[in-house]
Amino acid sequence: MSYSIIHQPVKPNPKSSIITIDQVDKLYIGLGNCCRCGCGGEYISPDSDENIKIIEKVLAKMSKGTIEVESQDDYIFEIVIKKWVKSDGDEQTKVNCLYLKQ
């Protein structure tokens, strides 16, 4: 199955990409306003049926066109799934970020 995702590259000019599960290297689920070492979330690889289902749900969410998808270099695709304000007044986000194989 393939998913058509309309995304906004960091450099303007929206474009569309067709992505299949075979192209996905990993999915990050976690805090958006922090490093991506894994301390603020977790990485999921498409190495089991359960993980593939999770990744496919994110691909489906991205392809609906109702959530803004930001992209970098046509291989990193990110959506913000939750926003809140921390007690210190800073905004925090939870994201789903797909990394494609290069």
- The one-letter amino acid at 86: K
d(CA 97, CA 66): 16
**Residue 4 three-state SS:** strand
Q: What is the pLDDT of residues 22-59, one digit of tens each?
A: 999 999 999 998 888 889 999 999 999 999 999 999 99
Tell me the pTM: 0.84
Q: What is the pLDDT of residues 4-20, one digit of tens each?
A: 888 876 666 677 889 99
The tally of domains found in the chain comes to 1
Q: What is the pLDDT of residue 102?
A: 87
The tokens 């990394």 sit on which residue?
Answer: 99
Closest alpha carbon to 37 in 45, 46, 28: 28
Q: What is the span of the domain harbouring residue 79?
A: 2-100
